[in-house]
Amino acid sequence: MTPSPEKTSRRTFLFRLGIAINAIAIGLFTIPIVGYVLSPARRFTWLDWIPLGPLTDYPEHQTRLAEYVNPFKKAWDGETAKIPCWVRRLADDQFQVFAINCTHLGCPVRWFAESELFMCPCHGGAFYSDGRHASGPPPRALYQYKYKVEAGKLWIYAGQLPTLGQPQA
Amino acid sequence: MIDVLKAIGRWLDARLQIGSTIAEVAEHPVPRSSASWWYIFGSATLVVFILQVVTGICLATVYTPAADRAWDSLIYLNYQQPLGWYLRALHGWGSNFMVALMFVHMIQVFLFGAYKFPRELTWVAGCVLLLCTLGMAFTGQVLRFDQNAYWGLGIGAAVAGRTPIIGFKVVDLILGGPIIAGETLSRFFALHVFVIPALLIGFVGLHLFLVLRLGINEWPMPGRIVRRDTYLEQYQELVHKDGEPFMPFAAQKDLVFAGLIILSLLVVAAIAGPIGPNGQPDPTIIETVPRPDFFFLWLFSLFALLPPWTETVLMLTGPVAAIGLLFALPFLSGTGEKSWLRRPFSVVIVILAATTIGTLTWLGTFSPWSPVMDAWSSAPTPVDYVKGRTPLELQGALLVQSKQCRNCHSLDGQGGLRGPALDDTATRLTRDQIVRQIIQGGGNMPAYGKNLTPAEVNAIVAFLATMHPRGEPPARDSASPAVPRQD
């Protein structure tokens, strides 16, 4: 017995309907997955004012290592929530607060008070005391935090890893 | 007894229907010439991968993929978990073995022209496996959540951050947030344990299926040209006239080699022990010298040695171009000669690539471009260099130490290699040139004009002017008389 035209069309209709329903369903399914995976990039900037301690911690004309806890930390971040930075006090209210990350590839720069240089242990970048590029491959000066002095404390505007694409630390 | 086993086998096969497939795989004919000791590296790579899966699953039962616990769990594995140290050693050294075997396999199939028609997609699948294996190596290094992992992620983020326009968003995506922290580790854990292994298993399946279906590459004979219209026939003829069943004719060499590889892995892991972790991933501990594992050391060196103005472009386009070329290879030269004896250009490429990567890796092991951070306080001034010196010159010797000159300049082989050794400075520069170099810097040396008093510069120059080997006179200004005037 040959199948009647109506039966064939019902079969193809069901098959096409199946494909259509699945296409819609998978499309809908993809939305939350993609949204979930991409969620860290949803926020434009991650910055907040953070106290770095009383001004008395930072003698004038010196550069000191300071650390703060990232304002966006999670309970399970552990030690990685702590971020170091270099604080240079020029005069009373005049500061420079440098990110720890070398502008070449992000390794931690170290301050050498005697030669007044920041040196990077990875690819040999060096910076002067005011953050300017001194030698090596770094493409720019050290990243600096915005700062303010309020209620006898030094505050910095921080929260994200500075990179060439987002130099605001 | 044997009858019982046979009966069980028949019972199973009646239900599984797998016996004929296995027999087909085992007995498929391979060219006599390909049952060679050169054809053993692919199977050995697969064997090590299987070991990695086993040790990896075991480690996952103890390792804690949370940023505040991961390092502690690694220390626990190393020192308290029974045999934890050995499984970590097997997994860590296994990854080195796998990367090494994979590259040998890749060089072999490249030199033997195995990627040519009709095996183009076998090569492409192999390229995906190459990327997955390197991906496993990098993500695995991140899971060893120590200082190297932390700053290695920092380097990855800094490279990604150079992407034009969307760079900072890419950084957020890689890190799972604004900084390297808990979600970064969790992301890399998911990649290392679920995503990349799934890809690996899938593409290993495809790779093997293609090897079985298309047949293993025959030993390339100079002058036997691959042509799309005749190759398949020629191969069939070869396999049937001069072929042997895969089992045991070719498989025996794979078996012996794979066994030896497992044994050597067991021995190496037992002797060398687990790899790391080094210090805990605390970014406030900045007394650290981050280095990647050895298979990424060449990249690390490259980043130091590329001219800075080419860096961003090369970091972003270089890998894409290199990977693109690898994938495109079989489509660029899918036919023609297979033998390396008739493909001198290919041999040169292999030698060039191996020498380049080898040299960069070797340079990376002692990274001459990095200052030695503690040379100024820990490397002694050689006794010969202070003998018979005036007080001013001795003052200069002291300043060379205390002003951290030796972090970049060595004396008697000790100290940094970033700048030239100071042992023979006086033969290269006159006093005036030394003064200029110190004060203005240049040639990759920072300027010290603001950090040194004139008296300090004077002392350092006095000391450096004595730095010439006995019997070799100091450099002198060509415009001044050879014998100093006695006024």
Instruction: Bin A14: left if φ > 0, else alpha if -120 < ψ < 50, else beta.
Output: alpha
When CB atoms are compared, the residue of B162, B177, B441 closest to A40 is: B177
- Residue of A33, A76, A128 to mutate, testing the B interface (most B Cβ within 10 Å of its Cβ): A76
A-to-B residue pairs, Cβ atoms closer than 8 angstroms: 211
d(CA B110, CA B340): 9
* Residue A167: per-residue pLDDT: 87
The C-alpha atoms of residue B182 and residue B68 are separated, in whole angstroms, by 7
pLDDT of residue B95: 97
| pLDDT at residue B53, as a whole number | 98
CA-CA-CA-CA dihedral for B209, B215, B221, B222, to nearest 10 = -60
Question: Looking at residue A165, what is its pLDDT?
Answer: 87
* CA nearest to B372, candidates B287, B434, B300: B287
Please tell me the predicted confidence (pLDDT) of residue B378: 92
CA distances from B226 to B34, B118, B217, B222, B234 (A): 17, 9, 12, 11, 9
CATH class for the region spanning B26-366 = mainly alpha
Residue with tokens 């191996």: B354
Q: What is the residue whose two structure tokens read 């005049």?
A: A94
Residue of B nearest to A85 (CA): B284
> Which superfamily is assigned to A48-158 in CATH?
Rieske [2Fe-2S] iron-sulphur domain (2.102.10.10)
Rounded Cα distance between B243 and B236, Å, is 9
Beta bridge partner(s), residue A166: A163
What does the pLDDT read at residue B101? 97
Which residues are within 8 A (CB) of B280 and not within 5 positions of it... i.e. 6 or more apart? A79, B71, B146, B147
User: Can you state the angle between helices B182-190 and B167-175, rounded to 10 degrees?
Assistant: 80
Q: Closest Cα to residue A80, out of A67, A65, A63?
A: A67
Q: How does residue A2 score in pLDDT terms, banded at 50, 70 and 90?
A: low
For CA atoms B306, A83, B147, A44, the dihedral sign is: negative
Q: Rounded to whole angstroms, what are the CA distances from A130 to A11, B127, B389?
A: 77, 47, 36
Question: Do residue A164 and residue B312 have CB atoms under 8 angstroms apart?
Answer: yes
Closest C-alpha to B173, from A27, A102, A163: A163
Which of A111, A135, A140, A145 should one mutate to test binding to chain B, selecting the residue with the greatest count of B CBs within 10 A?
A: A135
Residue A3, pLDDT above cutoff 60: no
- Please tell me the number of Cα atoms within 13 Å of B271 on its side-chain side: 6
The amino acid occupying position B298 is W
pLDDT above 90: residue B473 = no
Highest average pLDDT, of B284-293, B294-303, B343-352, comes from: B343-352
| E strand segments, B251-341 | 336-337
Confidence of residue A5 (pLDDT cuts 50, 70, 90): low
**What pLDDT sits at residue B91?**
98
Return the percentage of chain B with pLDDT > 90, whole number. Answer: 83
Instruction: Tell me the β-bridge partners of B86.
Output: none
Residue of B159, B161, B407 with shortest CB distance to A166: B161
Task: Compute φ and ψ for B337, nearest 5 degrees.
Answer: -65, 140
When scoring A79, A100, A129 by the number of chain B Cβ atoms within 10 A, the one with the most, hence best to mutate, is: A79
pLDDT at residue A4 in the model: 55
Mean pLDDT of chain B: 93
In this prediction, residue B485 has a pLDDT band, given cuts at 50, 70 and 90, of: low
Q: Where is B202: in which H helix or E strand?
A: helix B196-214
3-state secondary structure of B406: helix
- The type of residue at A143 is Y
DSSP state letter for B115 = T
**DSSP three-state, residue B411:** strand
Q: Does A41 touch chain B (CB under 8 A)?
A: yes
Give percent of chain A above pLDDT 90. Answer: 82
pLDDT of residue A45: 81
**Mean pLDDT of the region A68-90:** 95
Mean pLDDT of B271-297: 93
- Note the Cα B11 to chain centre separation in Å: 50
How far, in Å, CA of B396 to CA of B455, rounded?
10
Residues of B in contact with A70 (CB under 8 A): 178-179, 181
Predicted model pTM = 0.91
Of A76, A107, A115, the CB nearest to B290: A107
Q: Domain segments of chain A: what residues?
A: 5-41, 48-158
In whole angstroms, give the CA distance from residue B349 to residue B347.
5
- The letter for the amino acid at B307 is P
pLDDT of the residue at B450: 86
Contact B171 A38 (CB under 8 A): no
Element containing residue B331 per DSSP (H, E): helix B308-332
Q: For B2-23, what is the mean pLDDT?
A: 92
Give dist(CA B30, CA B104) in Å, integer: 22
Nearest CA to B127 among B152, B110, B151?
B110
The whole-angstrom separation of Cα A98 and Cα A101 is 8
Binned at pLDDT 50, 70 and 90, residue B250 comes out as confident
Q: Is the pLDDT of residue B281 over 80?
A: yes
Look up the CATH number of domain B375-464.
Answer: 1.10.760.10
Tell if the CB–CB gap between A107 and B445 is shorter than 8 Å: no
Q: What is the pLDDT of residue B443?
A: 85
Report the pLDDT value the prediction gives residue A41, as an integer from 0 to 100: 87
Q: What is the pLDDT of residues B28-87, one digit of tens each?
A: 999 998 889 999 999 999 999 999 999 999 999 999 999 999 999 999 999 999 999 999
**pLDDT value at residue B482:** 64
pLDDT surpassing 90 at residue B106 = yes
Amino acid A10: pLDDT: 79
Using an 8 Å CB-CB cutoff, list chain B residues near A124: 304, 369-371, 408, 418
Domain boundaries, chain B: 26-366, 375-464
Is A125 an 8 Å CB contact of chain B? no
d(CA B80, CA B269): 18
- Percent share of chain B, pLDDT over 70: 99
Q: Do A119 and B447 touch (CB under 8 A)?
A: no
For residue range B164-186, what is the model confidence (pLDDT) as tens digits? 888 889 999 999 999 999 999 99
Decide if pLDDT at B194 tops 60: yes
The CB density around residue B139, as the number of other CB atoms within 10 Å, is 18
- Who contacts B394 (Cβ-Cβ below 8 Å, separation ≥6)? B386, B463
Q: Do A80 and B179 touch (CB under 8 A)?
A: yes
Q: What is the mean pLDDT of residues A12-33?
A: 95
Farthest-apart Cα atoms in chain B, separation: 114
Task: Give the separation between CA B278 and CA B476, rounded to whole angstroms.
Answer: 50
| Alpha helix (H) residue ranges in chain A | 5-38
What's the ipTM?
0.92
Please give the average per-residue pLDDT across B463-469, as a whole number: 92
Residue B116 is classified by DSSP as S
User: Mind listing the pLDDT tens digit for each residue in B344-389?
Assistant: 999 999 999 999 999 999 999 989 999 999 999 999 999 999 999 9
Predicted local distance difference test score (pLDDT) of residue B165 = 87
- What was the pLDDT predicted at B432? 92
Q: What is the residue type of B15? A: R
- What are A42-73's pLDDT values in tens digits? 887 889 999 999 999 999 999 999 999 999 99
Asked whether residue A169 carries a pLDDT value surpassing 70, the answer given is no
Closest CA to B376 of B407, B418, B411: B407
Which residue reads 């042997």 in tokens? B244
Q: pLDDT for B303-328, tens place per residue?
A: 999 988 899 899 999 999 999 999 99
Residue B271 backbone class (left: φ over 0; alpha: ψ -120 to 50; beta: rest): alpha
Confidence label for B448 from pLDDT (cuts 50, 70 and 90): very high
Kindly determine whether residue A77 and residue B287, on different chains, have CB atoms separated by under 8 Å. Answer: no
Residue B421 scores a pLDDT above 90: yes
The pLDDT of residue B248: 87
pLDDT at site B167: 87
Name which of B302, B289, B366 is nearest A122 in CA terms. B289
Per residue in B394-415, pLDDT (tens digit) is 999 999 999 999 999 999 999 9
